[in-house]
Structure 1
Amino acid sequence: MKRRVGQYLIDQISVYGVDQIFGVPGDFNLAFLDDIVSHEQVEWIGNTNELNASYAADGYARIKGLGALVTTFGVGELSAVNGIAGSYAERVPVVAITGAPTTVVEQAKRYVHHSLGEGVFDDYQRMFEPITCGQIYLTADNAAIEIPRIIAKAIRFQRPVHIHLPIDVAMTEIEVKEATVQPMLSQDVSVFTDLIQERLKEAQQPVLIAGHEINSFKLHEELEQFVNQTHIPVAQLSLGKGAFNEENPHYIGIFDGKIAHKDVRDYVNSSDCIINLGAKLTDSATAGFSYEFKTEDVIFINDEDFRVDSTYHTDVSLRDMMRSLLTLNYENTANFTPFNREHMTDFILNDEALTQENYFKMINHFLQQDDVLLAEQGTSFFGAYDLVLYAGNQFIGQPLWGSIGYTLPALLGTQMADKKRRNVLLIGDGSFQLTAQELSTMIRHQLKPIIFLINNDGYTVERLIHGEKEIYNDIQMWDYTALPAVFGGKDHVQTHKASTSNELKTVMDTVDQQPDKMHFIEVTMGMLDAPEKLVNISKAFAAQNK
């Protein structure tokens, strides 16, 4: 059948369930945007800037399994680089499409706007090479083959890809087959499973450390089935919160190095068979690499990274490994202490200044069974990763890339991906000021998330690391609850303020009673008050930087 290249690109993206595309218009993508707007399967979601669009596509992909954004050549695509790099680091599949000058302009090496004025047009494409798992310059000749191939690559590796789309190519009609989901090849990984089986036979105290790749590849059911079969206890990293069902009796808690709960810390550190499953032992996830085991003794099962003893392979699929693990014949008999779900329910109600400790206990009580919880890097993330989740919750943060301001635009993406689920965002004032404009896009689309903004007057996480009273950790005080009205949401957004636990409880009750509104809650707390985990990790970061 005949389709324009741009139409076929949208067709192929949409068969993977993508029904919204984020981005910002520019003269090199406008004709392509016409095809997006007229497409029956997708909706155009315009953003306030390209960085926010990349964050929104990332959040959308974490729910839907694939995201897409469109920017214009040069100024637009480079504005999105930070967000795409975060998607690469945290394994989120996003199709980044750049609307580019015509092939005639590029071949003639003309000095067009948005270029560097040197007649070179592949500089920006090469900038994407380290932060994407695939890049393609589309032509009328290669589009029919390369479009399905590059999108399938994003799905296979759960990482972003970059597509350079000259606008004349986008408008060229070509012969294509009907867009379909590309089959994924599987590997025989039984030889690796046998190595794990041998290690487990000798183990007296095995443990699983689950991480973010379980979330990325959506292997939650397979992981839980494996654990239920083998009875091996599971600890999670903060980078990977939500990888395992915290209501499962085999869950023992968060392992974050020396600051972990004693039962978890002792069990993991003394294990004679640690299986690292889809996890990365980063500095923030382990409180400055403060684990006591030797990494050379750990079984690492990550996508493209399998290690056990002297065996090391980079061409191994985590999906195939997870399925193969289900064939293991092993049952753990070691005793362990299951996770205690009761420790976050004892919040205090009074009229005193609200503390971080009490705030997060109240947030935990506020959470509902199927909520999507987003926690911004800083006090919000380090307070939230210890929260007790239900099996139906989804937890979203960005602790590896750690770009502050990420979660507000990501909230646009997660809520657009599923408008029926309640989305709750926890964010600090400093982070909010980076990407606040995207609140207007949520209002424009009449979304109804719940936003808790901590107003503690600046960059608390940085204050704890260095420069407690320095001017570079200060920010301008905003009238935060006035912003929804400024952005046109006076009738759609309910704003609230709270500075005590009694006030916050009243607000939370109101939010529960009015689910048909967006709620924006400004919560005031002390400048240097911080979750205990953040205080301890900040000390590790400070020592690491010396």
Structure 2
Amino acid sequence: MIAQLDRNAVAESDKPLPALPPYRVHELGEAAWDGDRDAALPPTSRTSATVTTAVAPGLSYDELFKVIEQSVAPDPGLIMIADTFLGIYPCARIRMPGPNSFLASAIWASIGHSVAAAVGVAAAKAKRPVVICGDGGFQMTAQSLSTMARYALDAIVVVVDNGLYGYEQYLLDPGYYSGTSAPLPISVIGRWDYLGLARSMGIAQVAVATTAAELSTEIATARAQNGPALIQAIVPSRSLPAGL
């Protein structure tokens, strides 16, 4: 990108265009490519630590999406905002009741966008947003809860807590989900007290769900009240949605 910008600057000055170096990507196991230097970082070693969830065993992804389909999808007054996470494709396959019922960042695939997007959706007051966001993405835009609380926005945020950047883990080492190996160090995220964090930002309605029945109950409870709500849905770290 920097090289191309340099070429544009030279072109505007009517000077001859210099030749660009070969553009290639090195693949070195789990190495991360550094585009500016056209070189790969050395592979990182795995950690022997295992990823644990706050409460075991938790929901499977399939159970979670079955509840979402039953509790959220039929209501035309709700709009589901799906983050970029392991469940983005199952979310997109859920049949919604009509137009303007589903929002996602399908092109940019930016993680964490859903929580912040819910602020704008809720402020418009046309439909009530229900966010489905992985814990890694949530940690990037969690401060949006403060705005929700300040303006009493009717947003419901479901944090899918599996202790991982699950999408990245799947792309780099999908065998983790069916094996016994430790996750990649870069995929492990810090353990947060999600309910305590939400309370500290002014969110009064908070809950944790470890079963399908609990999640269904907590979504119904959140929908019955005005104002923002946060639900922490525990999913085991090795769970994968059907089809992956």
Question: Does the TM-score normalized on the shorter chain lie above 0.5?
Answer: yes
What does residue 254 of structure 1 align with? none
Name the residue aligned to 2:190: 476
| Aligned twin of 2:236 | 526
Determine whether 1:510 maps to 2:224.
no
How far the C-alpha of 1:517 sits from its partner, in A, is: 2.7
Structure 1 residues 167-186: aligned runs within 5 Å? none
**Is 2:212 the counterpart of 1:501?**
yes
Pairwise CA RMSD: 2.1
- In 2, the alpha carbon distance for the partners of 1:477 and 1:353 equals 16
| Number of the residue aligned with 1:454 | 160
CA–CA separation in structure 2 for the residues paired with 1:377 and 1:433: 13
CA distance in 1, matches of 2:167, 2:240: 8
Alignment partner for residue 83 of structure 2, among 376, 381, 390? 376
Matched residue, 2:129: 423
Q: Counterpart of 2:64?
A: 359
Unaligned runs of 5+ in 1: 1-125, 130-350, 536-546
Check conservation: 1:408, 1:438, Cα contact below 8 A. yes
Query: What SS does structure 2 have at the residue aligned with 1:461?
Result: helix
1:194-213 deviation per Cα after TM superposition (whole angstroms, max 9, x unaligned) = xxxxxxxxxxxxxxxxxxxx
Residues 431-446 of structure 1: matches in 2 within 5 Å? 431-446=137-152
Q: Determine what percentage of the aligned residue pairs are the same residue.
A: 28
How far did residue 513 of structure 1 move?
A: 2.5
For the 8 Å contact 2:208–2:231, the answer to whether it is kept is yes
Distance in 1, Cα, partners of 2:131 & 2:94:
14
Which of 97, 114, 123 aligns to 1:407? It is 114
Q: Is 1:466 aligned to 2:172, yes or no?
A: yes
**Paired residue secondary structure (1:383):** helix
Choose which of 86, 92, 102 in structure 2 pairs with 1:385. 92
Q: How far did residue 458 of structure 1 move?
A: 1.1
Q: Secondary structure at the match of 1:521?
A: strand
**Structure showing greater relative contact order (alpha-carbon pairs closer than 8 Å, 6 or more residues apart):** 2
Q: Please, which runs of 5 or more residues in structure 2 have no aligned partner?
A: 9-55, 177-182
**What secondary structure sits across from 2:237 in the alignment?**
coil
Radius of gyration: which is bigger? 1
Give distance in 2, aligned partners of 1:456 and 1:478: 11
Q: Residues 373-404 of structure 1, C-alpha deviation per residue, up to 9 Å, x if partnerless?
A: 10000123122011111015421111221111
Report how many residues are paired: 181
Check whether the contact 1:374–1:395 (CA below 8 A) recurs between aligned residues: yes
Normalising by structure 2, report the TM-score: 0.69
CA–CA distance in 2 between the matches of 1:403 and 1:420? 24
CA contact (8 A) 1:373 1:393 kept: no
SS of corresponding position for 1:425 = strand
Contact preservation (8 Å) 2:71, 2:216:
no
Aligned match of 2:36: none
Question: Residues of 2 paired with 1:512 and 1:408: CA distance?
Answer: 17
Q: 1:529 to 1:521 in 2, by over 3 A?
A: same
Inter-partner Cα distance in structure 1 for 2:63 and 2:156: 19
**Shift of residue 353, structure 1, vs aligned partner:** 3.5
The separation in 2 between residues aligned to 1:434 and 1:509, in whole angstroms, is: 27
Q: Which residue identity is paired with 1:473?
A: S
Measure the CA separation in 1 of the matches of 2:227 and 2:151.
12
Shift of 1:505: 2.1
Name the SS for the 2:93 alignment partner: coil
Distance 1:410 1:352 in 2: 31
Is contact 1:450-1:520 (8 Å) kept? yes
